[in-house]
Structure 1
């Protein structure tokens, strides 16, 4: 009799424990379903990206219009190098600084734009990856600074001095190396233009209110005039780049 009481007590406890665990699992599932169906009001993220001719940083803030669509504005900055530039060093001077021979100007791009994310594949649970189509456009401003080098004079002292690179006079034999970055800042020139971006965004975060994104696509910058980056080659006013970005951020109600 005592053994039967112990058995039934244990059985009842097991039933209650199973029911409690089942209820907890149901509540957890309901909470997850609630989280994935909640329409957050906004989000923000920042990060870095690589593109065909350099790298950059970005910040993006968005208003969530629905679970399938959001509107955002973005700020980006990126350097724009030439695929033709090659770094060399004057072999006659072992301690000479390296530099890019033939480079006339360094170029930094600043983008200010707005765009849309449209959901292609929704994240049904936290093990899934969400996929969005992304497109944006806006202003692109190129800040262009002349390249200055340390030049070896023809006199007997041969003490290098800083001067703006002149491809009609300077050559690998009379260039000692690159000058200070600050040389030529007072000659900075701005080229206003525009850009357009098209890409795919992949969100792999393991929480609904956080963002961990990889984005890849194409971005095009267009300017009204040719920007002289290199000597001896044809320069462009349209810059087409493939890119991949890595971003982290948060959503809020």
Structure 2
């Protein structure tokens, strides 16, 4: 009889604990209606910012809108030791355009492992896709020149990449040539895993990692084309993002 009482007590305790866990989790999942997050993104082609609005569909799923603003670099977009030695401001040989993308898409988040108590970590899968609007801005350089009478002056010229000007100071002000920016429409897909380790239940602090693929409908000429294969339309990236946000009823 003593063993039966002990087993019965242990069974009731386990059921009570499980019921409490389910009640806490169910209550937590039912409380929040929507979430807002913003974050800093670092990827294998550059960096950027992102923002999201999510609507909770049920205890494990949320969907909504995301917006990213990112810089996309070409693999050849590196500054040589010679450039550093000469103190060229941002100048990269052969790079004739800077390229950015504004992504606007649908996002779905699925909770794989929910938090069981304060201080634990939730793990979610992230999938999104939509429009990727490329912004191709021409590069202008600041160069030192001498006039016919030997006077010294600084001029701003558009860089074509065919030849490297002498006496380069570096890239001109970012706004120079911004009115010549061309649009490069495209699409993107993103998939990742998010780890939320925020202690407070109504706040979000997460680290997310995954892959992104941007495809633009026409070639993106970032570099001067000595070789027809140097520029292309697709950009594959590995990324990591730190997100901060909050949940509301």
TM-score range, shorter chain: 0.7 to 0.9
1:191-241: CA deviation from partner (whole Å, max 9, x where unpaired): 111111000011111122111111110011100111111224601210011
Stretch moving more, 141-150 or 230-239: 230-239
Q: State the match for 1:161 in structure 2.
A: 155
Map residues 36-185 of structure 1 onto 2, 5 A cutoff: 36-87=28-79, 97=89, 99-153=91-145, 156-157=150-151, 159-168=153-162, 170-171=163-164, 173-185=166-178
Structure 2 counterpart of 1:23: none
Structure-1-length-normalised TM-score: 0.79
> What aligned pairs does 1:1-12 form with structure 2 within 5 A after superposition?
none
Gaps of 5+ in 1: 1-25
TM-score by length of 2: 0.80
SS of equivalent residue, structure 1 residue 171: coil
Q: What is the rounded CA distance, in whole Å, between the counterparts of 2:133 and 2:237 in structure 1?
A: 16
2: CA distance between counterparts of 1:115 and 1:34?
Answer: 23
Residue 9 of structure 2 corresponds to none
Q: Does 1:201 align with 2:189?
A: no
Deviations 1:8-36 (A, max 9, x none): xxxxxxxxxxxxxxxxxx9xx79955643
Contact 1:143 1:190 in 2 (8 A): yes
C-alpha contact (below 8 Å) 2:131/2:188 kept by paired residues: yes
Structure 2: 5+ residue runs without aligned partners?
A: 1-16
Aligned partner of 1:226 among 195, 204, 219? 219
> What is the CA RMSD across the aligned residues, in angstroms?
2.6
Q: What is the Cα deviation at residue 97 of structure 1? A: 4.3
**Matched residue, 1:13:** none
Deviations 1:137-184 (A, max 9, x none): 01100111100012344754453311100222x315353422121211
Query: Aligned in 2, Cα 1:235/1:126: closer, same or farther, shift over 3 Å?
Result: same
Decide which structure has the larger Cα Rg and report it.
1
**Distance in 2 between residues matched to 1:153 and 1:90, nearest whole Å:** 21
SS in 1 for 2:218: strand
SS at match of 2:142: strand
